[in-house]
Amino acid sequence: MTIKSEPFVVNVGPQHPSTHGVFRLRLTLDGEKIIDADMIMGYLHRSMEKLAEERTYTQNIPFTDRTDYLAAMTGNLAYVIAVEKLMNIEVPERAQFLRTIMAELQRIASHSMAIGIFANDCGAWQTPVMHMFRDREKILDLFEMACGARLTLNYMRIGGVSRDIPDEWMPQAHKLLKELPKRFAEYEDLLLSNEIIIARSRGVGVLTPEQAIAYSVSGPMLRGSGVAWDIRKADPYAAYDKLDFEIAVGTNGDCYDRFVIRLAELRQSLYMLEQALDMMPSGPVHQRLGTSTVQPGTQPIAPLAFRPPVGEAYGRIESPRGELGYYIVSDGGPSPFRFHIRSPSFINLTPLKLMAIGSTVADAIVILGSVDIVVGEVDR
Amino acid sequence: MFLLADNVWLDALLRMTIVAVLVPVGVILLTWVERKVIGRLQQRLGPMHVGPFGLLQGIADTIKLMTKEDVRPDSADRPTFELAVFVIVVPVFMAAVAIPFTADIFVRNMALGLFYFLAVSSLGIVGFVMAGWGSDNKYALLGGVRAGAQLISYEIPLILSAVAVAMLGQSLSLYTLVELQDNTPFIAYQPLAFVIFIIAGLAELYRQPFDIPVAESEVVGGPTVEYSGIRWSMFQMAEFVSLVLISALASLLFLGGWVWPFGADNATWLQVVLMVVKTSAFILFFMWMRVSVPRLRIDQLMALCWQILLPFAFLQIIINGLVLVYDWPSWTLTILSGAAAIAMGAIIYRVARRSGVLYQTSGAAEQVGLVL
């Protein structure tokens, strides 16, 4: 006797605890097995790229906080690098180091969340997330000291950073750097060799190097598939060319490898931070923009409204999620003619269908967790 | 045994009333304990604001849940949806009747207490499947099917490990089984059965790592997803009462209940203390597990049950049979069962480490021709 069965469509999201925002995954199931997966995006679309065309270059910096809201520093950085390329601005040495330090702190904060949430998706009920919050909290305190905000930081400026760090910042940062290795050792102890995490994530959501490159994924996902590609090495920006670090690379390209790479990158970030804090030069933190950008004969309006020359530029950095790029076209006006965000979350999400089909519902959640998306960045 | 009233029926009724009142109050306290314990383990404080140390939080929550609107999906199958709650809660209370908490404090001392407990407590499965089906929600359905599969599977090792103890005590009366442990608790003779009982108990309570039917990150609460207000709190109550019952049963069967280590004729207050300490130890262990481990996948869960726990549960019964038939000294039981328990642990460890053999991995892409 055969039992009649038919496919069963389940909408995971837009309201679901494991989609980490308003992302919708439409799964077609045969029992627990996934036979089709569709990604439906756009629930958090805020039309940032279009809005940015109506605002001045400086006014656009807060938008970059709000795309990847778990890594506002790197969002800022990618955008200001693009504009600086467009305008050929030299950034002071101290500002470069401050940018690097902030970006690496942000990477630790963001990877902590990614690891915690991944473990949460594997079913470790909130404990890893809560422990990770403890570290992230201290990093956010440092951000608050530096720029007054904790989440949407708006710290970077075109030509430098908004302000220098206060005197108390350095001692507190050094204190944090002493504390973090102990915490990381604890996480490695508890999570890395956790049998259930291994059983749940090893061999799940495999992406071969060829597939990873074909889908143009980047960041921990690409490195998890075994491709040693890191923009900090490949196309150094800020002060990364002066720092020594290694690229963590996986072998199997599965969810476990992505998770391990994030843990390894925590260590690398810490190592970079130690170097950067020691090497930090003194000097100005902001390059005053020349008056040449104000058109002759007009009243020199507020420095906010500078006009870059006609042209285009693409600034890219290694954000915690992968290659974050801002492509900016200028028509000589005070606001960009075209403002495009190459967001790693969106592009890393594209092979989800490939990874999810054939696995089970529980695996799909783990795979989605291992991609580490921020929906604000997927939809923009 | 003392009587609360002269008439036997009146006495039984009074005892049941006490259970019916004490249990919900206990559950309210227990939710507070769980939230505090879990909060501490997660670097949080837990409830702080309602009453001293947040002690009244449970009462505040109860009032809130009872006054909440009772939402029922339009498309739900009404009788199934509404009946499911009772099918889950009633067996739990029925099972509570069979548990002797001390030599004097119990509702009924049944000659077949263990049998009755196991029989009645497995009725709850039906309620979960009903809730999953009746909610007309896809997550609930997935959760209900998972619950059915999981609870039925884990019922078997749970029962077999209890049977092993019953073999040893030659009785199905919980009272007798406890009285037999005045020198040595059965955990010393039956470590394997104890481990299996605890693992299967975790699965029966659907706590991590076996919270697959209610997995919040997958099926968002599973069968309970459409329930709100008082109905949902009934689910919670059933869960907490079963937590206490499984803990109490574990301490009765394996840790000597109110008898060990002070012998059978100690004072009632000491018996109460012993039971409370032992039961709380198990409850805390279950709470600790809840926040400490990730969740297995359903196929891994089934593999663990049918390929590891079940054969080893039979092994324990065979060991007991051999020892009882050939009258071997009791220490052989300890050695054989302990060795088997260690072997089981080693097998689970190796299998988990070498994932992909017993645990089927999903070879995603190739099967569907999506390879580039």
Which CATH number is A347's domain given?
Answer: 1.10.645.10
How far is Cα B110 from Cα B173, in angstroms, rounded to an integer?
6
Best of A115, A192, A196 to mutate (most B CBs within 10 Å, chain B) = A196
Least confident of A62-76, A102-116, B262-276: B262-276
In a domain, A20, yes or no: no
Identify the closest residue of chain B to A35 by CA–CA distance: B368
Which DSSP symbol is given to A189? I
Is A131 an 8 Å CB contact of chain B? yes
Supply the ipTM of this predicted assembly: 0.80
Give the residue-averaged pLDDT of A128-137.
89
Q: Test B352 with A119 for CB contact under 8 angstroms.
A: no
Among the partner residues A18, A211, A357, nearest to B217 by beta-carbon distance: A18
- Nearest residue to A48 via CA among A333, A372, A336, A330: A336
Give the residue-averaged pLDDT of A271-283.
88
Write the DSSP string, A328-348: EEE-SSSS-SEEEEE-HHHHH
In a domain, A13, yes or no: no
The distance of B353 to chain A (nearest Cα, Å) reads: 6
pLDDT digits (tens, 9 = 90+) for A82-96: 988 888 888 888 889
Identify the closest residue of chain B to A214 by CA–CA distance: B372
Using N-to-C axis directions, what is the helix angle for B124-134 and B78-98, rounded to 10°? 160
Q: Test B208 with A203 for CB contact under 8 angstroms.
A: no
How far is Cα A219 from Cα A227, in angstroms, rounded to an integer?
10
**Residues spanned by the domain of A67:** 47-379
Helix (H, G, I), strand (E, B) or coil at A328: strand
Is A318 an 8 Å CB contact of chain B? no
- Contact B259/B178 with Cβ under 8 angstroms? yes
Using N-to-C axis directions, what is the helix angle for B268-292 and B191-204, rounded to 10°? 60
Helix (H, G, I), strand (E, B) or coil at A221: helix
Among the partner residues B209, B217, B364, nearest to A196 by beta-carbon distance: B209
In a domain, A24, yes or no: no
Q: Test B217 with A200 for CB contact under 8 angstroms.
A: no
B336 residue type, one letter = L
Helix (H, G, I), strand (E, B) or coil at A90: coil
The distance of A108 to chain B (nearest Cα, Å) reads: 19
Among the partner residues B208, B291, B352, nearest to A195 by beta-carbon distance: B352
Q: Test B294 with A133 for CB contact under 8 angstroms.
A: no
Q: Test A362 with B212 for CB contact under 8 angstroms.
A: yes
Q: Indicate if the pLDDT at residue A179 is higher than 80.
A: yes
In a domain, A21, yes or no: no
In a domain, A201, yes or no: yes
- Nearest residue to B352 via CA among B304, B280, B302, B291: B304
In whole numbers, what is the pLDDT of chain A averaged over residues? Answer: 85
How far is Cα B175 from Cα B335, in angstroms, rounded to an integer?
27
Share of chain A above pLDDT 70, in %: 95
Chain A contact set for B220 (CB, 8 A) = 16-17
- Nearest residue to A307 via CA among A18, A62, A87, A21: A87
How far is Cα B232 from Cα A368, in angstroms, rounded to an integer?
29
Give the residue-averaged pLDDT of A167-192.
88
According to the model, what pLDDT value does residue A105 have? 92
Q: Indicate if the pLDDT at residue A99 is higher than 50.
A: yes
Main-chain dihedrals φ then ψ at residue B75, nearest 5 degrees: -90, 0
pLDDT digits (tens, 9 = 90+) for A2-38: 777 788 888 887 888 888 888 888 889 887 888 888 8
pLDDT digits (tens, 9 = 90+) for B323-345: 888 888 888 888 888 888 888 88
Rounded to two decimals, what is the model's pTM?
0.85
Q: Indicate if the pLDDT at residue A295 is higher than 80.
A: no
Distance, C-alpha B354 to centroid of its chain: 29
Q: Test B291 with A202 for CB contact under 8 angstroms.
A: no
According to the model, what pLDDT value does residue A289 have? 66
Among the partner residues B44, B290, B371, nearest to A125 by beta-carbon distance: B290
Domain count, chain A: 1
Q: Which residue has the tokens 């499947």?
A: B129
Share of chain A above pLDDT 90, in %: 13
In a domain, A268, yes or no: yes
CA distances from B29 to A185, A301, B36, B56, B206 (A): 36, 67, 11, 9, 21
Q: What is the CA angle B147-B150-B152, rounded to 5?
A: 100
Q: Indicate if the pLDDT at residue A242 is higher than 80.
A: yes
Main-chain dihedrals φ then ψ at residue B63, nearest 5 degrees: -60, -45
Tens-digit pLDDT profile for chain B (372 aa)?
Answer: 556 667 778 887 888 888 888 888 888 888 899 899 999 888 888 888 888 888 888 889 889 988 988 888 888 888 888 899 999 988 988 888 888 887 777 777 788 889 999 899 888 889 888 998 888 888 888 888 888 888 888 889 999 999 999 988 888 888 888 888 888 888 888 889 999 999 999 888 888 788 888 887 787 888 888 888 888 888 888 889 899 899 999 998 888 888 878 777 778 888 888 888 999 999 999 988 888 888 888 888 888 888 888 999 999 999 889 988 888 888 888 888 888 888 888 888 777 766 543 333 333 333 333 332
Q: Test A199 with B352 for CB contact under 8 angstroms.
A: yes
Helix (H, G, I), strand (E, B) or coil at A29: strand
Counts for chain B of helices (H) and strands (E), in that order:
15, 0
Q: Which residue has the tokens 């039979």?
A: B314
Query: Which sign, positive or negative, has the C-alpha torsion B138, B141, B143, B149?
Result: negative
- Contact A339/A52 with Cβ under 8 angstroms? yes
- What's the pLDDT band for A329 if we cut at 50, 70, 90? very high
Structure-token pair, residue B200 = 């299967």
Helix (H, G, I), strand (E, B) or coil at A252: coil
Chain A residues 225-284 with CB within 8 Å of chain B: none
According to the model, what pLDDT value does residue B363 have? 37
Distance, C-alpha B43 to centroid of its chain: 27
Give the residue-averaged pLDDT of A247-273.
87
Q: Indicate if the pLDDT at residue A275 is higher than 80.
A: yes
Best of A8, A125, A215, A353 to mutate (most B CBs within 10 Å, chain B) = A125
pLDDT digits (tens, 9 = 90+) for A151-168: 888 888 888 888 888 888
In a domain, A154, yes or no: yes
In a domain, A353, yes or no: yes
Identify the closest residue of chain A to B355 by CA–CA distance: A199
CA distances from B329 to B179, B183, B333, B336 (A): 20, 15, 8, 12
Q: Test B42 with A16 for CB contact under 8 angstroms.
A: no
